[in-house]
Amino acid sequence: MASETPRSYRPALDGLRAAAVGGVILYHLGYPWLPGGFLGVDLFFVLSGYLITGLLLVEHADRGSISLLRFWARRARRLLPAMLLMIGAVTAAVRWWSPANQWSARRGDLLATLFYYANWHMIGSDQSYFARYAGVSPLRHAWSLAIEEQFYLVWPLITIVLLRWGRRAVIAVPAVGALASCLVMVAVYTPDNPTRAYAGTDARVQQLLIGVLLAVLTRQFAGTRLAGWLDSVAGARLAGWTGPLAAVAVAAFMLTVNDSSGFYYRGGATLVALVVAALIWAVERAPDSPVARLLSLAPLRSVGQVSYGLYLWHWPVIQFVPGHSWMRVALTVALAATSYYLVERPIRRGRPRIVAGTPLRVAMAVPVALAGFAALAIVSTTWATGTRAQQFETMNEAPCGVGRWLCQRVPAPAGHPVIAVYGDSIAMSLDPGFVELAHRHHWGYVLAAQQGCNLTGLVSSVSPQPESRQVTCAKESAGRLRKLVDEYRPTVIFSISSMEWEGFVRADRSYVKSGSAEWAAGIHDGLAGYIRTASRAGARLALAEMPPVAPRFKYCPGATTTCAQPPTAATIATNNIYRQLQEEHPETTLIGTSDILCPARSCPMIINGIVVRYDGAHFTPTGARWFVRRLEPRLIPVVARS
């Protein structure tokens, strides 16, 4: 997200940065009317490729060479101070306020962010960039910064080589690279989890390279017929038409393109980058055009100047700070402005107000700071005692392995019953308790659980724009249940899931909000269909009530047993539907959960000194064992009757 320019200051480019960061923030805040706000990152990538390559070409033209050390030092002064400040704040927030899965889960995130390989870490650890559930990394947004830094490290080296080979190589190599990157994105895209295609350097470098091509065409080809025509009156007229058309196209993309849309991954990303490049060229070529003047307005310029800080801070603020969107935006702006005026700008100019000394001393302090933060992230993972320790205890690995939802966890001795646990991530978090239960009773145990896949067969979503995996869950619902029964022949299927926050999307793509009468009818019919399917499969069904939600740890920093909340209206409504279904289907056993998790009609996070659910919904391993032991007397008769 470069801000240095190869010639005099161009305010319209700061306006483009403002539009880009604004789109990303609104997207992350979850506004459904801007599903394509994530394309702000695409705009940043194209702009970075354009500006960085322009800097390199200008330096080569002026000096006859490119100083890699000088280039990398400028990048370090520009990017590292604010990044280190943000990482330090996130480290402290994870240490004191984060839900329980954090130190063991966040250690890798911290180190990956520090050393700019966050995108590959996210892919390698099977994190979904598009997930919207408790426990999402507060550093998830660092993937794009990692790609840019990887580009800053490698591209200057390639540029030096290409300039020695000649003008044709300077344009041919980025063009071929952009095409190859586009093909990689198409090849690695999978609808169930597009993260590999979205965050992989090889798939996303196409946008940086399209920015490179723009810089090469406008600078390296100066003096050619093409450059002469573009600088002519006809070129200015073309820029005047291109600017508004490209601006409207970018806005249309942001208003319509969905992050799970196959269009984006099958060429749409390349098209967006080309349109953005056309917009950049238009405002550069015609700085007095209406679009350029609009982007040069003082408020947009001011936002653009602090856009790097806004991007750094917005996602941690969204993750850690409860409240209305405007409060989060205001805090993000305050943090970004403070970082810019007290840290970033002074250090970039070599006159830091806080860190005294020469620029050389400041540069020498950077690796020391990196090492210090890395040590802090690693050493702090070992800290935790007593009840406080339990908040950090979560399952760090998928029980069935990465990408698998069905597996046999405990083999059944000959002639003994098999219990299957079926549901979503709530069911998955109960795995440690059911492993112990199966061993105690010599039962077989099969886990059939996948994040975000509830029991209804509906396209469940917290917004009118469902994630691709939610659509897939709905389509595969009946087939998943048949696969479980065909492969493992369970005696009893224990089903549990959470639907508290989610409405659902109809076949006509209209949205039904949670809690409405139509929502209740849809949940009833969906659960009834699940019960019929399970009954036809020949297994006895034990249907657990939806577990009422407890407060999250970050809202209970004291970790006291008095931190509790009553069951929500959505939980009560859903569990009334469960009771109605049991009356309609007496062959189904309803397993109560509210009396276990909500003694005295209030749901605490800590019960009997145990942190039962680190984020208010998902069970810690200790909490899972505690909870399943209390379910045990209710499950034994169901298994015995089967």
Query: How does pLDDT run across 128-160, given as a tens digit for each residue?
Result: 676 554 457 889 999 999 999 999 999 999 999
In three-state secondary structure terms, 406 is strand
pLDDT band at 16; cut points 50, 70, 90: very high
Q: Which of 503, 523, 511, 513 is nearest to 581 (CA)?
A: 523
Cα separation, 229 vs 577, in Å, equals 71
Burial 171-193 (b: 16+ CB within 10 A, else e): bebbeebbeebbebbbebbeebb
| pLDDT at residue 100 tops 60 | no
Is residue 590's pLDDT more than 90?
Answer: yes
pLDDT (tens digit, 9 = 90+) per residue, 212-270? 999 998 876 655 565 555 566 556 778 888 999 999 999 999 999 988 788 999 999 99
* Residue 233: strand pairing partners: none
Rounded CA-CA distance 406/480 in Å is 9
Give yes or no for a contact between 519 and 503, defined as CB atoms under 8 angstroms apart. Answer: yes
Mean pLDDT of 613-636: 89
Helices and strands, counts by H and E, the chain: 27, 13
Distance (Å, rounded) from C-alpha 57 to C-alpha 63?
Answer: 10
Q: Once rounded to an integer, what is the mean pLDDT over residues 277-303?
A: 93
- 514, 450 Cβ separation under 8 angstroms: no
CA distances from residue 495 to 326, 422, 481 in whole angstroms, order as listed: 39, 5, 11
* Per-residue model confidence as pLDDT tens digits over 517-540: 888 898 899 899 888 888 877 778
Vertex 181: Cα angle to 109 and 150 (nearest 5): 40
Rounded Cα distance between 589 and 582, Å, is 7
- Looking at the DSSP bridge assignments, the partners of residue 589 are 542
What's the number of CA atoms in the CB half-sphere (13 Å) around residue 67?
9
Angle, helices 167-188/201-215, rounded to nearest 10 degrees = 150
Q: How far apart are CA 212 and CA 228, in angstroms?
A: 20
**Confidence tier at 459 by pLDDT (50, 70, 90):** confident
CA nearest neighbour of 46 among 159, 206, 184, 197: 206
Q: Are 256 and 23 in contact (CB under 8 A)?
A: no
The pTM (predicted TM-score) of the whole model is 0.64
Q: How far is 24 from 10, CA to CA, in rounded Å?
A: 22
State how far the Cα of 384 lies from the Cα of 228, in Å rounded to an integer: 67
At 564, which helix (H) or strand (E)?
strand 564-565
Residues 191-205: tens digit of each pLDDT: 767 889 999 999 999
Render the burial of 334-366: b for 16+ CB within 10 Å, e for the rest: ebbbebbeebbbbbbeeebeeeeeeeeebbebb
DSSP line for 410-448 = EPPPTT--EEEEEESHHHHHTHHHHHHHHHHHT-EEEEE
pLDDT of residue 638: 92
DSSP 8-class letter at 340: I
Angle subtended by helix axes 307-320 and 68-96, to nearest 10 = 20
Given this model, what pLDDT does residue 334 score? 92
| Cα–Cα distance for residue pair 409/501, rounded to 1 Å | 30
Phi-psi map region of 148: left, alpha, beta (phi>0 left; psi -120 to 50 alpha): alpha
Pairing between β-strand 540-544 and β-strand 589-591 as defined by DSSP bridges: parallel
Q: What pLDDT was estimated at residue 496?
A: 92
- Taking alpha carbons only, the member of 429, 494, 499, 431 closest to residue 470 is 499
Q: Which amino acid is at 437?
A: L
Token pair for residue 362?
């400041």
- pLDDT value for 370: 46
Helix (H) or strand (E) holding 292: helix 290-295
Report how far residue 1's alpha carbon sits from residue 146's, in angstroms, rounded to the nearest whole number. Answer: 11
End-to-end CA separation in angstroms for the chain: 62
pLDDT band per the 50, 70, 90 thresholds, residue 297? very high
Residues 592, 527: Cα–Cα separation, whole Å = 16
Spell out the alpha helix ranges (H) of 349-396: 359-379, 386-390
Beta strand pairing status for 492-496 and 540-544?
parallel
CA dihedral of residues 317, 323, 329, 330 (deg, nearest 10): -100
Which sign does the torsion angle of CA 633, 387, 546, 530 carry? negative
Q: What pLDDT is attached to residue 387?
A: 44
Delimit the CATH 3.40.50.1110 region(s) of the chain. Answer: 390-548+569-599+621-641
Contact 465, 534 (CB under 8 A): no
Contacts of 555 (CB under 8 A, 6+ apart): 322, 563
Quick one: pLDDT at residue 559?
Answer: 46
In DSSP terms, 512 is beta-bridged to: 504
pLDDT at 354: 45
| Alpha-carbon 415 to chain mean position | 46
In the predicted model, is pLDDT for residue 386 greater than 50?
Answer: no
Strand partners, 492: 419, 540
Q: Residue 384's pLDDT band (boundaries 50, 70, 90)?
A: very low
| Structure token pair of residue 635 | 């499950």
| Contact between 213 and 181 (Cβ < 8 Å) | no
Q: Is the pLDDT of residue 15 over 90?
A: yes
Helices assigned H by DSSP within 512-568? 517-536
**The domain 390-548+569-599+621-641: what is its CATH number?**
3.40.50.1110
Phi-psi sector, 298: left (phi>0), alpha (psi -120 to 50), beta: alpha
Q: Please give the Cα distance from 554 to 586 (Å, whole number).
A: 41
Give the pLDDT of residue 355: 46
Cα–Cα distance between 142 and 158 in angstroms, integer?
24
Closest CA to 320 of 30, 615, 565, 97: 97
Are 215 and 243 a contacting pair, CB within 8 Å?
A: no
pLDDT digits (tens, 9 = 90+) for 460-517: 877 777 777 778 888 888 788 889 988 999 999 999 988 766 788 888 888 888 878 8
